[in-house]
A = this chain, B = another copy of it.
Amino acid sequence: MPLGHALDNRFAQLCGIEVPFSFDVKRALDINVRHGDFDFLFCPLMYTGYAPNKDKALTLNRQLLPYAGVNTGVTYGQWAGLVFAKISPTWLDLDSEDENVRVNAEAILKQQIEWASYLSVKGLKNMEVDSWETWNSFRMLCDHHSQLVVALDIKRVLPPENSLKRWFGEPVTAAILDTEIFLTKARGNTLYLPKRHQKLIADLFHLDTRIVISEIKVPTSAQSAAGSKSQPLLAYWSQVSNIYKQRDPVSEQERSEFYTRDILQPSLRPSRNYSHAISYDDHEKDLVKYLHYEIAISRALLERVPDERASVIATVLVVVGAGRGRLVHASLKAAERTGRKLRVYAVEKNPQTVIALDELIRANNWDNTVSVVSSDVRDWSAPERADILVSDFLGSFGDNELSPESLDAAQRFLEKDGISIPSSYTSFLQPLTAPKLYQEAKARKDILHSESACLVNLHNVARLTPSQQVFTFSHPKCSDNQSNQRYQKLEFRIPTDTGSAMVHGFAGYFNATLYKSVLFGTEPSTMTPNLNTWLPMFFPLRTPICVHRGSILEVHFWRCVDSRKVWYEWCVTSPSSSPIHNCNGRSCWMDL
């Protein structure tokens, strides 16, 4: 039976059992699955004791090889769903210098794969936990084929944390737990797993990895194995099931995001193209975000207007890009909370949104305080200077929704000592192992998809180093002349205990200062909990780059601006040079 139900996940979490080769697969299925506690069998399809004549090349005749039979009363549906095949026997030497050994091994491997494929059995390449490099080399030889997946053989001694982490970026479909890694408590006979193993298994559950419990020390004869009972393994099953049950509960938000995991979503092109109503819906649900705005505005109002003058001074506040009024609402709440008087101009250029904004204001009788301005902020002649600008053009990478350009335009009607909320924002980058994202982009076969920055709910990825700052923008600007172009060189050092790693691209985050100490952001080490508006950005590399232990990954990022658009370019120059990505914004850009 599954370790847990599908309530909090897309699939039930399955646990299988490894059994030795058996000619009678039906019996093994009956014992372990139909009448047992396991969800599937993991077993060889070929008698493991078999060894061909080493002096003679094999003729490719399946009849001669001792295979698990198809006429065993196991239906094709059962083969497909309940049996995972293990390549056997272990003496297969595909790289032997001896031509006969190699040709035989090749013939046997090929037959097993074809046989498994005919039965629709799921095939698994069996890997050691410390052999990420072998897997990586194999994956590259196979040109990053999307159907290659990994089964991890979990040993008692685990590699260092950073080394282990690399697997979280890989398609780990199964983890094989030998019963030998379980320990027994001194008092009583209770089984338990070492802490690091528990954590690893919990992390693998996060990747929907299936578990296989295995008690095969030395391959035994087919007969004795088929006769063994699975009951003794139930105790191990319980341990694994406990780990599954003890996981943190999944939040409503996380649950709603299951289907978007590791899917590349084109990033918004704002300004000229108006957002759809549905994107406003999503953004407005973010309570944490608007609460931060309310606090920031409150603090600005308190500092700008002393208590004794609260009743005489009305602060002029311009909401730049008022949308459907959430920032107007936050501003009014801040005024109420602080007892300050406000005069609000709600500037919005999307005519559809202005209708909703207008309705909101009339419904709440805010007409006396709030003036709706249906205009692009660049074209608006403000009737008076603003004390406070409030805006919300922050993108997943900070400046990528043209906040700098929009606020430049608004600055001309801001008082010399006026305040901009947000007052600054910084973007961050972090190198990722993300083969799934690479395969997705590669499947599209064009340059556009291989160098377009996207929004991604990052899940099955490995974060190789801490993130680093890229570009910072502050408002109001001290000089009109200051350009919004930026260039930054970053050097990421791959930790020595990671070993080698593949870099498929970079995650992009941001942190923003709304006002003084009121901050929020998505940068992983300091991220604001429950801030749901922003998915991370993903800047792909057209060809993944291999970095070795302790080496430096040198990356260059540009924010480029011309008269009509803004775009990013990026490249790697060490350990090897990539092409410059998105030259002249040919694949992705933001219209001005």
The answer to whether A57 and B141 touch across the interface, beta carbons within 8 angstroms, is no
The CA-CA distance from A477 to B546 in the complex, in Å, is: 45
A571 lies within 8 A of chain B by Cβ: yes
Given A57-B481, A57-B483, A483-B57, residue A578 in contact with residue B141 (CB < 8 A): yes
From residue A47, how far is it (CB to closest CB) to chain B in Å? Answer: 26
The answer to whether A573 and B481 touch across the interface, beta carbons within 8 angstroms, is no
B-side contacts of A576, CB under 8 Å: 140, 546
A579 lies within 8 A of chain B by Cβ: yes
B-side contacts of A57, CB under 8 Å: 481, 483
B interface footprint on A98-112 (CB within 8 Å = 1, 0 otherwise): 010011000000000
A260 lies within 8 A of chain B by Cβ: no
The answer to whether A580 and B483 touch across the interface, beta carbons within 8 angstroms, is no
Which of B485, B543, B579 interacts with A142 by CB under 8 Å?
A: B579
Given A57-B481, A102-B487, A483-B103, residue A579 in contact with residue B141 (CB < 8 A): yes
A143 lies within 8 A of chain B by Cβ: yes
The answer to whether A573 and B102 touch across the interface, beta carbons within 8 angstroms, is no
A residues 217-243 near B (Cβ < 8 Å) are: none
**Which residue of chain B lies nearest to A583 when distances are taken between CB atoms in the complex?**
B143
**Which residue of chain B lies nearest to A97 when distances are taken between CB atoms in the complex?**
B489
B interface footprint on A70-111 (CB within 8 Å = 1, 0 otherwise): 000000000000000000000000000001001100000000
B interface footprint on A102-137 (CB within 8 Å = 1, 0 otherwise): 110000000000000000000000000000000011
A577 lies within 8 A of chain B by Cβ: yes
Given A137-B573, A487-B102, A573-B137, residue A580 in contact with residue B481 (CB < 8 A): no
- In this complex, how many residues of chain A approach chain B with their Cβ under 8 Å: the count is 25
The answer to whether A580 and B543 touch across the interface, beta carbons within 8 angstroms, is no
**Which residue of chain B lies nearest to A500 when distances are taken between CB atoms in the complex?**
B576
The CA-CA distance from A546 to B573 in the complex, in Å, is: 13
The answer to whether A141 and B481 touch across the interface, beta carbons within 8 angstroms, is no
A residues 526-583 near B (Cβ < 8 Å) are: 543, 546, 571, 573, 576-580, 583
The copy count of this chain in the complex is 2
Given A102-B487, A487-B102, A543-B543, residue A140 in contact with residue B579 (CB < 8 A): yes
The answer to whether A140 and B578 touch across the interface, beta carbons within 8 angstroms, is yes
B-side contacts of A143, CB under 8 Å: 579-580, 583
B-side contacts of A103, CB under 8 Å: 483, 485
B-side contacts of A136, CB under 8 Å: 577
Which of B140, B485, B543, B578 interacts with A577 by CB under 8 Å?
A: B140
B-side contacts of A99, CB under 8 Å: 487
A residues 434-488 near B (Cβ < 8 Å) are: 481, 483, 485, 487
B-side contacts of A578, CB under 8 Å: 140-141
From residue A418, how far is it (CB to closest CB) to chain B in Å? Answer: 26
The answer to whether B483 and A577 touch across the interface, beta carbons within 8 angstroms, is no
The answer to whether A580 and B142 touch across the interface, beta carbons within 8 angstroms, is yes
Which of B141, B144, B485 interacts with A573 by CB under 8 Å?
A: B141
Given A57-B483, A483-B57, residue A141 in contact with residue B577 (CB < 8 A): yes
The CA-CA distance from A60 to B137 in the complex, in Å, is: 49
B-side contacts of A543, CB under 8 Å: 543
B-side contacts of A144, CB under 8 Å: 579
B-side contacts of A487, CB under 8 Å: 99, 102
From residue A490, how far is it (CB to closest CB) to chain B in Å? Answer: 14
**Which residue of chain B lies nearest to A577 when distances are taken between CB atoms in the complex?**
B140
The CA-CA distance from A57 to B571 in the complex, in Å, is: 25
B-side contacts of A141, CB under 8 Å: 571, 573, 577-580
B-side contacts of A579, CB under 8 Å: 140-144
The CA-CA distance from A57 to B137 in the complex, in Å, is: 48
A residues 236-285 near B (Cβ < 8 Å) are: none
The answer to whether B577 and A137 touch across the interface, beta carbons within 8 angstroms, is yes
From residue A101, how far is it (CB to closest CB) to chain B in Å? Answer: 12
B-side contacts of A137, CB under 8 Å: 573, 577
The CA-CA distance from A583 to B102 in the complex, in Å, is: 18
* Most B-side CB within 10 Å, residue of A144, A543, A583: A583
**Which residue of chain B lies nearest to A574 when distances are taken between CB atoms in the complex?**
B137
**Which residue of chain B lies nearest to A546 when distances are taken between CB atoms in the complex?**
B576
The CA-CA distance from A579 to B141 in the complex, in Å, is: 4
From residue A551, how far is it (CB to closest CB) to chain B in Å? Answer: 13
The CA-CA distance from A342 to B294 in the complex, in Å, is: 106
The CA-CA distance from A99 to B543 in the complex, in Å, is: 30
B-side contacts of A481, CB under 8 Å: 57
Apart from A57-B481, A140-B579, A142-B579: 5 A-B pairs, beta carbons within 8 A: A141-B579, A142-B580, A143-B583, A543-B543, A546-B576
24 A-B pairs (CB sep. < 8 Å): A57-B481, A57-B483, A99-B487, A102-B487, A103-B485, A136-B577, A137-B573, A137-B577, A140-B576, A140-B577, A140-B578, A140-B579, A141-B573, A141-B577, A141-B578, A141-B579, A141-B580, A142-B579, A142-B580, A143-B579, A143-B580, A143-B583, A144-B579, A546-B576
Residues of A within 8 A of B (CB): 57, 99, 102-103, 136-137, 140-144, 481, 483, 485, 487, 543, 546, 571, 573, 576-580, 583
Q: Which 4 A-B pairs have the closest CB atoms?
A: A143-B579, A140-B577, A137-B577, A141-B580
